[in-house]
Amino acid sequence: EDGEGAPWREQETWEGEQIKKASMRVGAQDRAAAAAQYDFVIDDQIEFIKDQALAGDLDLDESAEAAEERERAAAAAAAKSEFEKLQADRALLPMYPYRDQLLAAVEAHQIVIIVGETGSGKTTQIPQYLHEAGYSKLGKIGCTQPRRVAAMSVAARVAQEVGCKLGNEVGYSIRFEDCTSDKTVLKYMTDGMLLREFLGEPDLASYSVMMVDEAHERTLHTDVLFGLVKDIARFRPDLKLLISSATLDAEKFSEYFDYAPIFRIPGRRYPVDIFYTKAPEADYLHAAVVQTLTIHVNQPRGDVLIFLTGQEEIEACEELLKQKTRGMGSKMGELIIAPIYANLPSDLQAKIFEPTPPGARKVVIATNIAETSLTIDGIRYVIDPGFVKQNSYNPRSGMESLMVTPVSKASAQQRAGRAGRTAPGMCFRLYTAWSFQHELDDNTIPEIQRTNLGNVVLMLKSLGINDLMNFDFMDPPPTQTLFRALEQLYALGALNDRGELTKLGRRMAEFPLDPMLAKTIIASEEYKCSEEIATVCAMVSVGGAVFYRPKDKAVHADNAHNNFHRGAVGDHIALLNVFNGWAESNFSTQWCYENFVQVRSMKRARDVREQLLGLMDRVEVQLVSNPGDHDAVRKAVCAGYFYHTARRQKTDSYRTVKNPQTVDIHPSSGLREVLPRWVVYHELVLTSKEFMRTVSEIKPGWLVEIAPHLYSKKELDDPSARKMPKGQGRAAMVA
Ligand code: CDP
Ligand code: MG
């Protein structure tokens, strides 16, 4: 596999004398020497060149003192109770000395911008300080997080520190999961959930403080929140607003919030040596594994953090690491592998925070979540392949896809910084110094400028914000993207031709789902299959794979999976079959094993389904079931996804109908070999090429029946004739 792709890799065998402890450079000699102790071979080594150290604004003496103090405190804490230990830890955070000053600033100003390095204690401490100072007597203290995992794990930590059960005084709320109660006064939530709360409580009356955290991430929802909270701050002078960020360019936030004062928490950071590969890496996953093992045999203690792009990669990396270390356990320290990504169940997430036992080394394999949202103590080595999975959206074609993209320079610096939080560290970038200089953008583009806005526009319209062109965005989305969203909502029937929300649109907005999915659910009533559609929607919403296919049992897995596709005319029905099969087995875990289905995904789907049924009840979508009618299910899917249709070409590739582009059926689809003439797909993913994922066969006649304003019979017979949406033109819809 390597040879060709990677001519620069040296093939080294391990011969030498003695391991050199504490060697701080990754040199061939050191590696060879280190390996002598072990009877295994790390197959291809990577050569690095060292670059500048990423030193913080730190005063090393002071930090040495701080470290000493920490050790003293740790020793003192050893005798104390768990709760007292936590309080001692709190007092050691960089944020702590500034507690009173911060409270004074919040007292004096309605809006405060807070800037501090990751790990200062912004997220866990500030809401507690405000709680201790009595703000929670006036209303809840809210804190938003861009990521669900962060909201959950931070809330769990704060509940420990406060000394309560999670869900009591401290709770969290994420999509499809509300872990709060009447008692909750410290509420962590995703930015998307706070947006939803606006629908029920447009002035956030139940809150005394709102902290919009991780503002630097500039997620779509955070950006929209900026505009909304800025607005309510004007007519709710009693509401305190905190905007916190891990990066230094806070001026922009300050300026946007009418020159709100900036509160800077002085950083403590140790120098981090940066290493680049000499030549580009063909396979970064493999390179990351090799580098982890190299660190493990060569470097002094300290945990490793690897940044990968998603669950699949993380699982592959975990597997590869386990394979390579199998059988060498007794010869070297234990390697504890701790993955973390959005869909990891919360009990497993806790593993990343568990202290590493002496002699062992922890390897945290994470998505971008570990860049700033989560602080993991004890990391000294960062491995950064330089990629992230990101939305991209082309408003011209209306194409949206999730793809693996190079990170920005700012992002790479944040990642490197994770190695130097508690001691000097090292960061191995699996790309060249030249790439860093010339190929990476300076900053990540805010999500609002690279994503489909359908959902957000629907939400804003439901909040009565009609004039989107003049909404106070910090960085406005491209006009064309806004037009597209309006056009699509119009086509779905959520807006009328004056751009006003219709009754259907109002019902759609109740669902925390993409408008196309929400439309599917509402349309399912008409096709008399709302029970089935609730299941299908839950299954497509869980994120993460449903099927798995272990290499050593590939044939068994394929057979099991084929059963679900038997007689199915697409993946939507297959997913329905999976869920129904599981339900018939009485939701048995054994059933999942036997059928090579991910039990975690299934449990999540069951929860999501329950929630959807509740929402359907609320907007009065009648529950009807028609188990045998697969056409009905596919028609309902079509009613939401008629924009996502494609027709097979002579080449056996597909061409999307509305915004012609060449796409293929994803290899995971049950239709990958069937290649029906017409299909509807759930989403596009861009890997080696543009793939349609979760695909069902349709009849072109359905399109004319379901979306006559978009499709004509003539057009479907002759793809060169395209029909434009009816209506009084785009301008009318925006006004
Ligand atoms: O928000 P910021 O990056 O400034 O820091 P934080 O998330 O409040 O984290 C402060 C400290 O809390 C970290 O250094 C961790 O030691 C600890 N923490 C934890 O142990 N478990 C968590 N789930 C979150 C934080
Ligand atoms: Mg934080």
| Full-model pTM | 0.84
Q: Rounding to the nearest 10 degrees, give the CA dihedral for residues 277, 282, 284, 290.
A: -70
CA of 153 to the centre of ligand 1 (A): 9
Q: How would you classify the pairing of strands 170-174 and 177-179?
A: antiparallel
Q: Among 27-31, 181-185, 339-343, 411-415, which is the least confidently predicted range?
A: 27-31
pLDDT of residue 61: 45
Ligand at minimal distance from the CA of 122 is 1
pLDDT band at 544 (very low <50, low <70, confident <90, very high): low
Long-range contacts formed by 627-633: CB under 8 A, 24+ apart: 627/532, 629/527, 629/528, 629/529, 630/568, 630/569, 630/573, 632/527, 632/528, 632/529, 632/532, 633/524, 633/527, 633/529, 633/532, 633/533, 633/536, 633/572, 633/573, 633/576
CA of 120 to the centre of ligand 1 (A): 7
100-147: pLDDT as tens digits? 999 999 999 999 999 998 999 999 999 999 999 999 999 999 999 999
Question: Half-sphere exposure of 713 toward its Cβ, with a 13 Å CA cutoff?
Answer: 2
pLDDT band at 28 (very low <50, low <70, confident <90, very high): very low
Regarding the beta carbon of 119 and ligand 1, being less than 6 Å apart is answered yes
* Contact indicator for 318, 339 with CB cutoff of 8 Å: yes
Regarding the beta carbon of 153 and ligand 1, being less than 6 Å apart is answered yes
At 451, phi and psi to the nearest 5?
-145, 160
655-697: pLDDT as tens digits? 998 778 899 999 889 999 899 999 999 988 877 788 999 999 9
DSSP letter, residue 169: S
Regarding the beta carbon of 310 and ligand 1, being less than 6 Å apart is answered no
DSSP helix/strand/coil, 392: strand
Regarding the beta carbon of 131 and ligand 1, being less than 6 Å apart is answered no
Regarding the beta carbon of 122 and ligand 1, being less than 6 Å apart is answered yes
Regarding the beta carbon of 268 and ligand 1, being less than 6 Å apart is answered no
What are 493's two structure tokens?
């029937």
Helices (H), 385-529: 409-417, 433-439, 454-462, 479-492, 503-509, 515-526
Regarding the beta carbon of 637 and ligand 1, being less than 6 Å apart is answered no
Rounded distance between C-alpha atoms, residue 547 and residue 600, angstroms = 11
**pLDDT(48) > 70:** yes
Q: Where are the beta strands (DSSP E) in 310-352?
A: 335-340
At 341, phi and psi to the nearest 5?
-155, 170
DSSP helix/strand/coil, 340: strand
Q: How would you classify the pairing of strands 379-384 and 303-307?
A: parallel
Regarding the beta carbon of 187 and ligand 1, being less than 6 Å apart is answered no
Nearest by Cα to 298 from 63, 21, 578: 21
At 633, the amino acid letter reads V
CA of 385 to the centre of ligand 1 (A): 25
Give the CA distances from residue 474 to residues 115, 219, 233, 462, 629, in Å, rounded to whole numbers and listed in that order: 18, 12, 16, 21, 48
Classify residue 11 as exposed, middle or buried by CB count within 10 Å of its CB (0-12, 13-18, 19+): exposed
Tell me how crowded residue 364 is: count the other CB atoms within 10 A of its CB: 24
Task: Name the more confident of 724 and 669.
Answer: 669
146-164: pLDDT as tens digits? 999 999 999 999 999 999 9
DSSP helix/strand/coil, 409: helix
Kindly state the percentage of the chain with pLDDT values over 70: 87
**pLDDT(433) > 60:** yes
N-term to C-term CA, the chain: 57
CA–CA–CA angle 77, 81, 84 (5° rounding): 65
Nearest by Cα to 519 from 395, 656, 699, 643: 643
CA of 429 to the centre of ligand 1 (A): 25
Report the range out of 43-47, 606-610, 707-711 with the highest average pLDDT: 606-610
Closest atom of ligand 1 relative to the 126 alpha carbon: 8
CA of 178 to the centre of ligand 1 (A): 22
What are 732's two structure tokens?
């009318």
394 bridge partner residues: 399
The percent of the chain in helix, strand and coil, each rounded to the nearest 5, is 45, 20, 40
Closest atom of ligand 1 relative to the 265 alpha carbon: 4
* Contact indicator for 187, 180 with CB cutoff of 8 Å: yes
Report the nearest-CA residue for atom 6 of ligand 1.
Answer: 121
- For 610-634, the DSSP string reads HHHHHHHHHTT------TT-HHHHH
Rounded distance between C-alpha atoms, residue 696 and residue 287, angstroms = 37
Q: Looking at residues 229-243, what average pLDDT do you find?
A: 96
CA of 120 to the centre of ligand 2 (A): 8
Rounded distance between C-alpha atoms, residue 479 and residue 422, angstroms = 45
**pLDDT(303) > 60:** yes
Regarding the beta carbon of 548 and ligand 1, being less than 6 Å apart is answered no
Ligand at minimal distance from the CA of 117 is 1
pLDDT of residue 29: 46
Regarding the beta carbon of 375 and ligand 1, being less than 6 Å apart is answered yes
Average pLDDT of the chain to the nearest whole number: 86
Tell me how crowded residue 434 is: count the other CB atoms within 10 A of its CB: 11
Go through 337-350 and write b for each residue having 16 or more CB atoms within 10 A of its CB, e for each that does not. bbbbbebbeeeebe
Report the nearest-CA residue for atom 14 of ligand 1.
Answer: 119
CA of 133 to the centre of ligand 1 (A): 21
**pLDDT(580) > 60:** yes
* Contact indicator for 456, 223 with CB cutoff of 8 Å: no
pLDDT of residue 364: 97
pLDDT band at 184 (very low <50, low <70, confident <90, very high): very high
Rounded distance between C-alpha atoms, residue 668 and residue 249, angstroms = 43
**pLDDT(21) > 80:** no
Regarding the beta carbon of 244 and ligand 1, being less than 6 Å apart is answered no
Ligand at minimal distance from the CA of 120 is 1
**pLDDT(60) > 70:** no
Ligand at minimal distance from the CA of 265 is 1
User: At which residue do the structure tokens 């003293």 appear?
Assistant: 72
Nearest by Cα to 400 from 451, 346, 465, 324: 451
Q: How would you classify the pairing of strands 654-656 and 662-665?
A: antiparallel
Q: Looking at residues 629-651, what average pLDDT do you find?
A: 94
Around ion ligand 2, residues with a beta carbon closer than 5 Å are 122-123
Tell me how crowded residue 713 is: count the other CB atoms within 10 A of its CB: 13
Regarding the beta carbon of 123 and ligand 1, being less than 6 Å apart is answered yes
Regarding the beta carbon of 120 and ligand 1, being less than 6 Å apart is answered yes
Helices (H) and strands (E) in the chain, counts: 29, 24
CA of 353 to the centre of ligand 1 (A): 10
* Contact indicator for 10, 278 with CB cutoff of 8 Å: no
pLDDT band at 568 (very low <50, low <70, confident <90, very high): confident
CA of 122 to the centre of ligand 2 (A): 6
Q: Rounding to the nearest 10 degrees, give the CA dihedral for residues 348, 345, 413, 220.
A: -170
358-393: pLDDT as tens digits? 889 999 999 999 998 888 889 999 999 999 998 888
Instruction: For residue 434, give every residue at least 6 positions away whose Cβ sits within 8 Å of its Cβ, in sequence order, or none.
Output: none
Strands across the sheet containing 262-264? 177-179, 170-174, 186-190, 140-145, 207-212, 240-245, 111-115, 262-264
**pLDDT(426) > 60:** yes
Nearest by Cα to 296 from 54, 26, 17, 10: 26
Closest atom of ligand 1 relative to the 118 alpha carbon: 3
At 557, the amino acid letter reads A
- For 179-205, the DSSP string reads E--TT--EEEEEHHHHHHHHHH-TT-T
Rounded distance between C-alpha atoms, residue 488 and residue 397, angstroms = 12
CA of 117 to the centre of ligand 2 (A): 9
454-505: pLDDT as tens digits? 999 999 999 999 889 899 999 999 999 999 999 999 999 999 999 999 999 9
Overall size of the chain counted in residues:
735
Regarding the beta carbon of 157 and ligand 1, being less than 6 Å apart is answered yes
